[in-house]
Amino acid sequence: MDAALLWLVLFFTAFHLPNLSLAESRAGRTIDALVVTPVGWQGVAVAKRLFYGTLAMTLAAAMAALLNPAVLLSFGFWLTIGCGTLIYLGVSFVIASWSGSVASANIGAMIYLFCSGLLFTATSLLPDPFGTTLSQYAFAEGSILQSLHTLWNPAEQGTAWLLGALVVWAALWQLAGEVSYRRLRRR
């Protein structure tokens, strides 16, 4: 339950808020005014990532301090929260860059969550060990939730592989977010 609460904090602050912010600024054409300033496209992208990333990690740390303060001393916790934040920032940049309005950004977010949840559930129903392994490592949400769950229950094993999967997912989603954001810039 604690891992799910932390996941919700990460999802709403690192995915949903930047997704809505970018879609709103794109629909209202304010992003065009921002990019002609000396800061440019890269500066706007960095500022959004820094603001929402810092907000997500701060709120997740505050939630963890309330639920289980001992986990704050774990390197795995900070790596999980950092990678989860980067994953969701990348996903939000991809969806918002392809959305023409706030409504379509919301629909894109719902489709993403529905598809990832459906695939996560379907793979977890496969026979072990293949199903469990695929659901934990092949989907970002599975890696985040399983890593947080393992941190809360230290008797369970497998944290190193989960953290490795999280780093790969974070790098891939950041790359996809950057490519999508550059696509938005060319319009």
pLDDT digits (tens, 9 = 90+) for 36-60: 677 777 777 788 889 999 999 999 9
User: How far apart, in Å, are the Cα atoms of 26 and each of 18, 21, 113, 137?
Assistant: 12, 8, 22, 34
Q: Please report, to the nearest 10 degrees, the dihedral formed by the alpha carbons of residues 163, 166, 170, 176 taken in order.
A: 150
Is the pLDDT confidence value at 143 over 80? no
Question: For residue 50, how many other CB atoms are within 10 A of its CB?
Answer: 11
Q: Give the model confidence (pLDDT) of 87-138 as tens digits.
A: 888 888 888 888 878 888 888 888 888 887 787 777 767 776 665 565 555 5
Cβ contact 44:34 at 8 Å: yes
pLDDT at position 115 is 83
Query: What percent of the chain is predicted at pLDDT more than 70?
Result: 74
For 116, the token pair is: 């990832």
Position with higher pLDDT, 68 vs 34: 68
Cis peptide, bond prior to residue 129, ω within 30 of zero: yes
pLDDT at position 13 is 87
186 pLDDT tier (thresholds 50, 70, 90): low
pTM for the model: 0.80
- Which domain covers residue 76, as residue numbers? 2-185
pLDDT at position 62 is 93
Please state which of the ranges 16-20, 53-57, 146-150, 164-168 shows the lowest mean pLDDT: 146-150
pLDDT at position 55 is 93
DSSP state of 74: -
Q: Is 75 exposed, middle or buried (0-12, 13-18, 19+ CB in 10 A)?
A: exposed
Query: How many folded domains does the chain comprise?
Result: 1
